[in-house]
Chain A
């Protein structure tokens, strides 16, 4: 009698290989989240700067990332930039550029929304109480902004983690590719593919679910 297909995951270092593949996309997602937060802050400040060109520029940027599927943007940078500018970017660098371009705009819009949602009288009351400009930010504005922002920013982060799976399509060896390699080696095992893809599905779930729970929890507590 043949073993169940799931046993191949415990043969040799197959499971570690899968985790290694997952780490490729997770590392990319973490870098993207970090860069998007920094650039998103700049984006929000630019949008709130009151200059018309800046506002127009930000709106256009936001519309582009909202309208174009991320996969199209990935193709544009990975295949298109080589043709247009002669830049031969590898898959991971292209992905980092695209996801940061997308994440920064989305994060920026969240930051902008959180900042503008704080009623003006909060600042005015704080000033009336004699707080200095720095204190107003430290004790009044920043804590309230963070409370509104954090749940949404965490949700965006899970979206970024899920979206980085797309790098499979521009030839990055990530978890699905590693899975295909494992399935290829164990072609004698008919149900190998079922178990490998099932485990990848579960792995993604196990990574993203805690973030979703955390976001919901914070939202409830701070609402």
Chain B
């Protein structure tokens, strides 16, 4: 191990991690928004939108991100639709992630007991109030583990951003590997970098999930 080489390149990895994290975060936030919209369109059976959401979810879930990015970045410009690499990265991650998030939200909504919704209506809550105070909080609590699993999945998926010539962690490592020849050091730092990003996310996920379980939704605290 050449420690001085590793120390000298810490700043490169920090820059790469910043790219990975920043565009990963943009993609995740957009995915949450797209996922929520798709899920609501399907849950409330909004005509037309519901079919579009359904078709989109199938398309996005059944194709690899790498292929989606090639189409966005190398295919679309040929018919006059041009995006920067960064925009492609966010669009691609959102296209993939939105579908996964929608499925996570859906599983949460479906888990809400019908009796809860009916009880809400019986208490005289309007439809909006019922959604706001009864359905949504419970659905979200159930969906959280799946949502966090998707966040980790999407951060891992950002590793293919390197095909867009973005200097993310993967590309930083690849550039150093081809120029320096210190493959082992380069890869060790790459692994360490992903661990440092993903471990905190996983710890936060566990804590949030535990808290929500204490909140006592569902039937472990029967009425």
Contact = CB atoms under 8 A, between A and B. Distances in A.
Interface of A: 5, 66-72, 75-76, 79-80, 82-84, 158, 162-163, 165-166, 168-169, 176, 179, 190-198, 200-201, 204-205, 208-209, 212
Interface of B: 58-59, 61-64, 66-68, 70-71, 74-79, 152, 156-160, 162-163, 170, 173-174, 177, 183-184, 187, 190-191, 194-195, 198-199, 202
Contacts of B58: 205, 209, 212
B62 A191 contact: no
Contacts of B177: 75, 79
B66 A166 contact: yes
B98 to A, nearest CB: 16
Given A72-B191, A80-B184, A176-B66, 10 more contacts: A67-B199, A70-B156, A75-B190, A158-B62, A192-B78, A193-B74, A204-B64, A205-B59, A205-B62, A212-B62
Given A176-B66, A200-B67, A205-B62, A71 B159 contact: yes
Given A79-B183, A169-B163, A209-B62, A197 B191 contact: no
**Secondary structure class of chain A's binding surface, majority of residues:** helix
**Secondary structure class of chain B's binding surface, majority of residues:** helix
A153 B68 CA distance: 24
Contact of A196 (B75, B157, B163): B75
A162 B63 contact: yes
B75 A193 contact: yes
B20 to A, nearest CB: 10
A67 B195 contact: yes
B74 A80 contact: no
Contact of B187 (A79, A168, A193): A79
A103 B152 CA distance: 17
B194 A67 contact: yes
A72 B159 CA distance: 8
